[in-house]
Amino acid sequence: MHAVNSNGANIPALGFGTFRMSGAEVLRILPEALKIGFRHVDTAQAYGNEAEVGEVIHHSGIPRADIFLTTKVWVDRYRHDDLIASVDESLRKLKTDHVDLLLLHWPGGSDVPMAERIGALNEVRKAGKVRHIGVSNFNTAQMEEAVSLSDAPIATNQVEYHPYLDQTKVLQAARGHGMSLTAYYAMANGKVPSEQLLNDIGARHGKTAAQVTLRWLVQQQDVITLSKTATEARLKENFAIFDFALTREEMAAIRGLARPDGRIVNPGGLAPEWDA
């Protein structure tokens, strides 16, 4: 697996995501993910499973330095003192003295000025509690604002990204700032496995539609993707995407699946005004 250099953060291109995973599911499947070779783990305070993620990593026998660990601050903890306390709480649950990447989870849902949020991110980074800082679900204008307010470089913007959603503008803006995009919802809420084009491309490579989509994401410059499953067989399938490459024509054909109504995740009060 290759790593993506995002303003000094070397982030493994394929991560194991824990969104909507219960603590019990994390305890069961994350050890298997680490055995298979996953070294990038993504969680969040809002997921309610940081303690289980921390327990698995702590007992994995894998050096902490070998695992790239991301967590996120929820929107109700954006005030300076609340954000500091949120990070300390996450570190206790995760059984570690630092996380590799800390993200602001959503741009909306809070009246805390962006300068205060970014200032607190910089503070926990200077204190050594986080190695790198980033954002999630930001539009291009918000990315620009975050970069302008931050002393430390912003490593990534974690956003919904799959074949049905064109994220060209956000990706180009990220590249302009030396940032990466981290894709979530790669399977488009279950649409990917039944997409004929993706299955046809997969048949040529001896791969599934899911593997083709994950490969399409990580084959793009400056793109990282999260994969999530509670099934061990699917876990191995998701990891086996670095032994083939898509042609330029196949990459373009997959990009052609994007449509104006392709966005799935758009919670009122949290989401920004997305780039057209």
Residue positions in the annotated binding site?
Answer: 105
The rounded distance, in Å, linking the Cα atoms of 166 and 162 is 8
How far is the C-alpha of 41 from the C-alpha of 17, rounded, in Å? 6
* DSSP reduced 3-state for 119: helix
Using alpha carbons, list the distances in angstroms from residue 108 to 42, 113, 119, 166, 216.
Answer: 21, 11, 17, 22, 30
Choosing from 47, 164, 184, 185, the catalytic residue is 47
* Rounded-to-integer distance, Cα 224 and Cα 220, Å: 9
214: its two tokens: 């994950």
Binding-site positions for substrate: 105
Closest CA to 6 of 198, 192, 187, 135: 135
C-alpha span between 224 and 194 (Å, rounded): 23
Residue whose tokens read 């805390």: 112
Q: CB of 181 within 8 A of CB of 167?
A: yes
In angstroms, the CA 20 to CA 30 distance is 14
Confirm whether 185 is a catalytic residue: no
Q: Which residues are catalytic?
A: 47
